Amino acid sequence: MKDCCGPGYSSPQEAIEAPREKLLYTIAIYTGTGIQKPDYLATVDVDPDSPTYSQVIHRLEMPGIGDELHHMGWNACSSCHDDSSMSRKYLILPGVRSNNLHIVDTATDPRAPRLHKVIEGAEIKAKADLSGPHTVHCLGSEIIISFLGNAKGEAPGGYLQLDKDFNIIGRWENSMGDIKFGYDFWYQPRHNIMVSSEWAAPNTFMPGFDLEEVGYLKYGRELHFWDFEKKVPVESFYLGEDGLLPLEVKFHHNPDSTHGFCGAALSTNVIHWWKNEEGKWQWEKIIDVENEIHPEWPIPLPGVMSAILISMDDKYLYLNNWLHGDMRQYDISDPHNPKLTGQVFMGGLLGKAPQVNGVDVAGGPQMFQLSLDGKRLYVTTSLFSTWDNQFYPDIRTKGGVMVQIDCDPVNGGMKINPDFIVDFGQEPNGPSRCHEARYPGGDCTSDIWL
Amino acid sequence: MTEYRVTLSNRGGAAYMVNGRRPLLEQLRDQGVDLPYGCEYGGCITCAAKLVEGHVDQRRQVALNNRQIENGYVILCVARAVTDITLEIGVESHDKLYRNPFLDPLKPHELKADIATPEDV
């Protein structure tokens, strides 16, 4: 069966039953840290039977400094499962600040990925008038990447399309409509729908977070629904105060489902959407994390939910509160009525877990990747260099950490795994900061089924 | 072409000559100064340095708010010297570049130039 097929899995259920991950890739940055070294892709050994378990076993440096690696994406996923000519070989690593796209070969030696090609930021600016790359999704045999600005760093940017050999085709979308900002996107082809969210213009968010600019409408508060085949936005939802900084967008993995979710970072809410019986898209707020009072601060502290993730069985939604310091697990079997089933603290500004497994956490839970079977959640602590420097200045000397949370996919519940921690404060070139993570065989934030 | 002297106060007073036509980042890096940078068009503050003395033209920067400008920060990837200048470079100069917005809000005149209101109206 496998011999005839392309990358990924025939269904989410087949993905859940795949072998356990043994390697994990995460980016680690020096941009903005004061260390004059390139950002890099770290290979982390996550095989408990290996002598180098819980260690960085390889580092692939980018060619220059100042990229700010951030999110990543595969050249192919389960959307190409029927195409035996495709394979999940290349990881694409955009540099948010430099605009460079690094194409990394992870298949020739999965433990030691190598650089295959760099698409220079200047070429992307010249050919597509785009900067500030963020989310990478494959699309059958092609690749689309959201960019948050034009070549001058002004919103709303657009989408770059690459062919399977990583040549620039040009802009993917036929129109940005009235969209003001870009950020993340996810698509559900059986319903001909793509949903995109809004952060801000690169010139607004790259220098750091001026909270005051939210009131001047410099940050997003809308979700956009696209006709995926026509490549045009067709409907937008204004989320208002409930949806300030709507960032990560996830549909159910079940390709027949119309249910999807977005984490509004500053409002610290989860927005849920679905198509009703009349065929109309609806939205509601289903989770509202209350602000916390910091003993010494004049303004109540929002959680800052910078990421969400849906387990491969669509049963659990995971979210972070980067400033409060907790990771949460909600049972979303009924997506209208989520139930909190797990919570752990790691770092954060409320002082509830300053150390994890003996390591100081100078940051809060930020990005996370869940194993395909839903049992292991790998969590990192850095958001973005300039924002880290504002909220967690100690991260400059302590670096980021990667923690493993053991999750119970049957009864719910989360707890810190006592045997695993990767302290990026101890890296050979000095403290670096880890962010997004991926597994060689595909993961819970990459694969889409046609 | 007029040349200006750039003195780096936190590099033992090392001095370099630059012209006023090209950005400081490019000219200093060409002379071997190891400086941080990111976007290279004035849209991010990775390359910020503190101007201790003298004047620069940094009209092309769009990243700094008025408080950061008031505190002397300049964006080296687009700033050009217009006099002899003294700079403090690297993250050691970033003590006032970053602030926690929940602890220390900006006043209306301290916002970025496009949304700031004058201090005395």
* Cα nearest neighbour of B101 on chain A: A211
Site from A37, A205, A219, A389 to mutate, B interface, most B CB atoms within 10 angstroms = A389
SS (H, E, C) chain A: CHHHCCCCCCCHHHHHCCCCCCEEEEEEECCCCCCCCCCEEEEEECCCCCCCCCCEEEEEECCCCCCCECCCEECCCHHHCCCCCCCCCEEEEEECCCCCEEEEECCCCCCCCEEEEEECHHHHHHHHCCEEEEEEEEECCEEEEEEEECCCCCCCCEEEEECCCCCEEEECCCCCCCCCCCCCEEEEHHHCEEEECCCECHHHHCCCCCCHHHHCCCECCEEEEEECCCCEEEEEEECHHHHCCEEEEEECCCCCCCCEEEEECCCCEEEEEEECCCCCEEEEEEEECCCECCCCCCCCECCCCCCEEECCCCCEEEEEECCCCEEEEEECCCCCCCEEEEEEECCCCCCCCCEECCEECCCCCCCEEECCCCCEEEEECCCCHHHHHHHCCCHHHHCCEEEEEEECCCCCCEEEEEEEEEEHHHCCCCCCEEEEEECCCCCCCCCCCC
CA distance B80 to chain A (A): 19
How many domains does chain A fold into?
1
Least CB-CB distance to B38: which of A97, A203, A218?
A97
Q: What is the pLDDT of residue A220?
A: 98
**Chain B residues within 8 A of A206 when measuring between CB atoms:** 38-39, 43-45, 63
Half-sphere exposure of A47 (CA within 13 A, CB side): 13
Does A443 reside within a domain? no
Q: What is the pLDDT of residue A294?
A: 87
Q: What is the pLDDT of residue A4?
A: 64
**Chain A residues within 8 A of B96 when measuring between CB atoms:** none
* Rounded distance between C-alpha atoms, residue A146 and residue A133, angstroms: 6
Averaged pLDDT for residues B72-86: 98
Least CB-CB distance to B111: which of A210, A296, A393?
A210
Does A449 reside within a domain? no
Which residues form the domain of A287? 2-438
Check if the beta carbon of residue A242 is closer than 8 Å to that of residue A438: no
The most confident of the ranges A79-83, A388-392, B117-121 is A388-392
**Chain A residues within 8 A of B94 when measuring between CB atoms:** 389
Question: Per CB distance under 8 Å, which residues of B are interface residues toward A?
Answer: 34, 36-41, 43-46, 62-65, 90-92, 94, 97-103, 105-106, 111-112, 115
Q: What is the pLDDT of residue A369?
A: 98
In the predicted structure, residue A2 carries a pLDDT above the cut 80: no
According to DSSP, the β-strands at A308-310 and A269-275 are unpaired
Does A240 reside within a domain? yes
- What value does the mean pLDDT of chain A take? 96
Averaged pLDDT for residues A172-195: 97
Least CB-CB distance to B63: which of A99, A206, A296?
A206
Ordered by where they begin, the domains of chain B are 3-110 (3.10.20.30)
Averaged pLDDT for residues A359-365: 97
Cβ–Cβ of B63/A213 closer than 8 Å? no
Averaged pLDDT for residues A36-55: 98
In the predicted structure, residue A241 carries a pLDDT above the cut 90: yes
ipTM of the complex: 0.96
* Cα nearest neighbour of A296 on chain B: B103
In the predicted structure, residue A1 carries a pLDDT above the cut 60: no
Does A150 reside within a domain? yes
pLDDT above 70: percentage of residues in chain A:
99
Least CB-CB distance to A98: which of B36, B38, B100?
B38
Does A444 reside within a domain? no
Least CB-CB distance to B102: which of A203, A297, A393?
A297
pLDDT tens-digit readout, A191-205: 999 999 999 999 999
CATH of the domain at A105: 2.130.10.10
**Chain B residues within 8 A of A348 when measuring between CB atoms:** none
Does A219 reside within a domain? yes
Site from A212, A219, A324 to mutate, B interface, most B CB atoms within 10 angstroms = A212
Write the CA distances from A86 to A4, A106, A255, A444, integer angstroms.
Answer: 11, 14, 21, 20
Interface contacts (A, B; CB < 8 Å): 104
In the predicted structure, residue A211 carries a pLDDT above the cut 90: yes
